[in-house]
């Protein structure tokens, strides 16, 4: 079956018998900010929201999330709801508010200084602060209350996202056992040895096992999760059937590789509007060289950004004939900036770019252009379209949807993907040039291999990946999760 926006919608209409669809995540899909020209709305740099927004646009429903924009309160109604997308409303965004102390403890603290480094094995020590954990618990309760308020006495399917909300499934089950719940884990699940140092591991696992269905990107994360539960809780783990039975109820645990709206991205990529944006971006970046490499990331220490700068250095050192001819554009959005490790990363990137540019720059050219600002989805697509190569060099990543977005947008016969072996996407995108970001010399060689590749070879590789992503798109991901839940009911 070829999954599309339309047949996903049909599945919901035919099979969900009027159940309300509620998505819950920390990050909201649309953020309202105030600026010199009044209130504007942006789409955040988040694979999670980029992936789920088309699903909600197709199916309708309610999305519950933290209202983090400084003008968010100004546009909601008395129930803290606003219809989105703003220019073509399709579903309800229900915002909940966090004060600074809650945000510091729950979001910056427990979510991003404890669970994030615990699950991404990149040699950054997690922090375990009791005060953060207590805020995390109370904010999870706040999310559960808001969801229950939206559900009321309706039949509902609640689809919870990510490591910020691990306690919500159990809270919902206790309050209303009729709600069907799934939780999708957007980041890696580590091996049991890594997870066992977490002082609150039992409560987190019990919280998650309140869901009817748990989804991870790949089988390896499913196996790690089942082994972690097996070694931590007194419950029945069925590794063959891939489920856990706790307190007389079963939770299915399955891999669902997340994806993108391939059709929409490829359509925008081929549009005249994108050509105009490409010309504007070239001008903004001051890029005149023939060959362009591109990286687009949240500035996060898991993304391997310093490693790719060092690879550019290695490449130019070994192949000086590319000096003046190749520019690497790094588009980066500042992220989680109140955490010291993120501030340090920023400084590290600045000094690397400064050093490498100083080493190779000529009067009218520099090897690395670092643009630290928000990019709209249209601009990101234009950037991929400009690229002779795109680099995704995560040190450890759940999926990495940037890689799939590049595949959908890139020009056949031109764009080559360099992809870290340590991403979930590397399991599917095997026609990319797979790299180890920890090995700078080989990484530099891969840049050269991409630039020297024949147009025919580039075309063959990209076409194969385009077909794969077109088939395994975001609607298939959502459809498979909904089908799995329907089989349970
Ligand atoms: O996919 C992992 C993730 O943390 C998402 O949950 C999140 O939306 C995205 O990365 C961006 O991070 P943040 O929401 O912290 O800016």
Residue nearest to atom 1 of ligand 1 (CA): 186
Q: Summarize the confidence of residues 106-128 as an average pLDDT.
A: 98
Distance 332 CA to ligand 1 centre (A): 14
Domains 5-259+474-488 and 262-470 share a fold: yes
pLDDT exceeds 90 at position 427: yes
Residue 413: exposure state from Cβ atoms within 10 A (0-12, 13-18, ≥19): middle
Q: What is the pLDDT of residues 69-111, one digit of tens each?
A: 999 999 999 999 999 999 999 999 999 999 999 999 999 999 9
pLDDT digits (tens, 9 = 90+) for 128-142: 999 999 999 999 999
Determine the atom of ligand 1 nearest the C-alpha atom of 161. 6
Domain ranges of the chain: 5-259+474-488, 262-470
Classify the phi-psi angles of 60: left when phi > 0, otherwise alpha if psi is within -120 to 50, otherwise beta.
Answer: left
What's the mean pLDDT in 190-208?
98
The atom number, within ligand 1, closest to the CA of 116 reads 4
Å from CA of 98 to ligand 1 middle: 17
pLDDT at site 16: 85
- How far, in Å, is the centroid of ligand 1 from the Cα of 235? 31
pLDDT tens for residues 210-265? 999 999 999 999 999 999 999 999 999 999 999 999 989 999 999 999 999 999 99
- What is the pTM assigned to this prediction? 0.97
In CATH, the architecture of 262-470 is 3-Layer(aba) Sandwich (3.40)
pLDDT in tens, 391-408: 999 999 999 999 999 999
Q: What is the mean pLDDT of the chain?
A: 97
pLDDT at 1: 80
Percentage of the chain modeled with pLDDT above 70 = 100
Q: Are 343 and 270 in contact (CB under 8 A)?
A: no
| pLDDT for the residue 289 | 80
pLDDT at 147: 98
| Mean pLDDT for the stretch of residues 26-53 | 94
CA of 248 to the centre of ligand 1 (A): 33
Residue percentage of the chain with pLDDT more than 90? 95
Fold classification of 5-259+474-488 (topology level)? Rossmann fold (3.40.50)
pLDDT, residue 17, reads 84
Q: How confident is the model at residue 13 (pLDDT cuts 50, 70, 90)?
A: confident
């Amino acid at each position: 079956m070829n999954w599309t926006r339309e047949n996903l919608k049909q599945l919901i209409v035919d099979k969900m018998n009027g159940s309300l669809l509620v998505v819950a995540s920390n990050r909201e899909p649309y953020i309202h900010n105030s600026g010199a020209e009044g209130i504007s709305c942006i789409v955040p740099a988040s694979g999670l929201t980029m992936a789920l927004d088309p699903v909600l646009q197709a199916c309708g429903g309610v999305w519950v999330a933290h209202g983090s924009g400084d003008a968010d309160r100004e546009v909601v109604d008395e129930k803290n709801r606003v219809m989105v997308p703003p220019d073509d409303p399709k579903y309800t965004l229900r915002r909940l508010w966090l004060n600074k102390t809650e945000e510091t403890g729950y979001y910056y603290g427990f979510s991003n200084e404890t669970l994030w480094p615990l699950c991404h094995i990149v040699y950054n020590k997690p922090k375990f602060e009791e005060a953060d954990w207590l805020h995390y618990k109370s904010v999870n309760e706040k999310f559960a209350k808001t969801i229950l308020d939206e559900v009321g006495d309706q039949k509902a399917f609640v689809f919870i996202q990510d490591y910020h909300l691990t306690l919500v499934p159990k809270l919902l089950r206790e309050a209303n056992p009729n709600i069907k719940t799934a939780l999708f884990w957007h980041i890696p699940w580590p091996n049991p040895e890594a997870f066992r140092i977490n002082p609150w591991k039992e409560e987190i696992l019990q919280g998650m096992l309140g869901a009817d269905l748990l989804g991870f990107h790949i089988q390896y994360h499913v196996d790690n999760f089942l082994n972690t539960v097996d070694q931590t809780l007194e419950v029945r783990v069925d590794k063959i059937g891939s489920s856990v039975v706790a307190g007389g109820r079963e939770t299915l645990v399955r891999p669902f590789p997340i994806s993108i709206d391939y059709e929409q991205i490829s359509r925008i990529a081929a549009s005249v509007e994108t050509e105009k944006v490409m010309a504007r971006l070239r001008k903004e970046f001051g890029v005149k060289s023939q060959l362009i490499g591109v990286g687009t990331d949240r500035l996060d220490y898991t993304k391997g950004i310093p490693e790719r700068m060092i690879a550019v250095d290695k490449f130019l050192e070994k192949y000086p004939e590319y000096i003046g001819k190749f520019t690497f554009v790094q588009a980066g959005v500042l992220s989680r900036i109140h955490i010291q490790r993120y501030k340090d990363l920023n400084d590290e990137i600045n000094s690397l770019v400064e050093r490498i540019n100083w080493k190779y720059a000529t009067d009218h050219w520099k090897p690395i252009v670092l643009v630290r600002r928000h990019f709209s989805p249209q601009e990101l697509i234009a950037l991929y379209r400009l690229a002779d190569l795109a680099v995704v060099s995560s040190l450890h990543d759940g999926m990495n949807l940037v890689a799939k977005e590049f595949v959908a947008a890139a020009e056949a016969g031109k764009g080559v993907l360099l992809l870290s072996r340590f991403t979930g996407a590397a399991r599917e995108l095997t026609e990319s040039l797979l790299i180890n970001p920890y090995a700078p010399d080989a990484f530099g060689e891969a840049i050269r291999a991409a630039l020297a590749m024949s147009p025919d070879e580039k075309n063959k590789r990209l076409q194969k990946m385009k077909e794969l992503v077109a088939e395994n798109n975001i609607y298939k991901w959502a459809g498979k999760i909904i089908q799995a839940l329907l089989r349970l009911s």
